């Protein structure tokens, strides 16, 4: 596959926002209306769990899809406060973020992440697996960090399922309010190569693995989308802060759509 050959995927991670349901409904309605003309881009909204059902209603009968931000690692135990893959399926959730650095920071391990990937795939929900280094050191240790995260997180995932997983490259130093800067095109492209090579290696693929790869970390304007997709060879972006209003999110979709083949 040539890179960028597929439609572009723009995933909007609202995190613990917005504060009120009415605001969530407003963003969802505006996104539904605004994306109509951007037919080559798949938009996925990932609201907090409590807003999934009302947001689902707002985006019904549109091309906007629903995503979760997390999921339990099993469906079998009594787990206070957790949400299972089956429960997400009932809400028509099609994608689910797994292993975001903000969750890894609270102790989520690659092995738990692997169990989550497995549980989601079994329920036909596409996992969006986040990987990313906290620092870019000069010796290139960060490449080993990405590779190790990927290898361990894919434990137990078989060859016929692995290419369904979307991988999001999210350098921790580029995420959120404290971000140093956005990643440069060549930095993003380097990781895309490492991700594809690692998967190829692990599974003995003779062709380039078909996984969609996204870039996330301070994507805030159309230029950032262009950097990720054109220079970085990404299949789309995972966006946090700029996804919290249609006014900032729609120009990103517009840019992605312009670049989609
Ligand atoms: P940001 O967050 O766009 O606000 O940097 C990205 C993310 O955490 O996925």
> CA–CA separation, 102 vs 224, rounded Å?
22
**Statement: residue 1 has pLDDT above 50:** no
- Number of residues assigned to the chain: 261
Residues 129, 151: contact at Cβ < 8 Å?
A: no
**Statement: residue 6 has pLDDT above 80:** no
Query: How much is the pLDDT for 4?
Result: 39
Residues 70, 119: contact at Cβ < 8 Å?
A: no
Q: Which atom of ligand 1 is nearest to the CA of 97?
A: 9
> CA–CA separation, 125 vs 152, rounded Å?
20
> CA–CA separation, 188 vs 252, rounded Å?
18
**Residue bearing the CA closest to ligand 1, atom 6:** 240
Q: Which residues line ligand 1 (CB under 6 A)?
A: 13, 170, 175-176, 179, 216-219, 238-241
> CA–CA separation, 9 vs 43, rounded Å?
6
> CA–CA separation, 104 vs 48, rounded Å?
17
Choice between 177 and 99, residue whose per-residue pLDDT is larger: 99
Question: Known catalytic residues?
Answer: 100, 170
Q: Which atom of ligand 1 is nearest to the CA of 242?
A: 3
Q: For 120-140, what is each residue's pLDDT tens digit?
A: 999 999 999 999 999 999 899
Q: For 24-82, what is each residue's pLDDT tens digit?
A: 999 999 999 999 999 999 999 999 999 999 999 999 999 999 999 999 999 988 999 99
Ligand 1 mutation target, pool 68, 180, 219, 245, most atoms within 8 A of CB: 219
Average pLDDT for the chain: 95
């Amino acid at each position: 596959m040539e890179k960028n050959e597929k439609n572009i995927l723009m995933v909007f991670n609202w995190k613990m926002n917005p504060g009120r349901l009415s605001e969530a409904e407003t963003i969802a309605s505006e996104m539904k209306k605004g994306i109509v003309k951007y037919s080559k881009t798949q938009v996925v909204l990932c609201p907090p769990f409590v807003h999934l059902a009302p947001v689902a209603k707002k985006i019904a009968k549109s091309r906007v899809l629903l995503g979760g931000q997390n999921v339990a690692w099993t469906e079998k135990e009594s787990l206070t406060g957790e949400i299972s893959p089956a429960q997400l399926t009932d809400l028509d959730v099609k994608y689910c973020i797994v292993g975001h650095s903000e969750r890894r920071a609270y102790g989520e391990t690659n092995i738990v992440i692997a169990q989550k990937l497995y549980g989601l795939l079994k329920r036909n929900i596409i996992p969006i697996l986040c990987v990313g280094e906290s620092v870019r050191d000069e010796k290139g240790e960060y490449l080993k960090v990405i590779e190790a995260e990927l290898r361990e997180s894919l434990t137990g995932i078989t060859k016929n399922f692995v290419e369904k997983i979307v991988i999001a490259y999210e350098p921790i130093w580029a995420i959120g309010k404290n971000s140093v800067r956005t990643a440069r095109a060549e930095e993003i492209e380097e990781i895309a190569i490492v991700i594809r090579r690692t998967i190829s290696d692990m599974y003995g693929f003779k062709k380039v693995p078909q996984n969609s790869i996204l870039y996330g970390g301070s994507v805030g304007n159309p230029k950032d989308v262009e950097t990720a997709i054109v220079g970085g060879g990404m299949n789309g972006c995972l966006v946090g802060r700029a996804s919290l209003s249609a006014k900032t999110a729609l120009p990103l979709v517009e840019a992605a759509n312009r670049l989609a083949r």
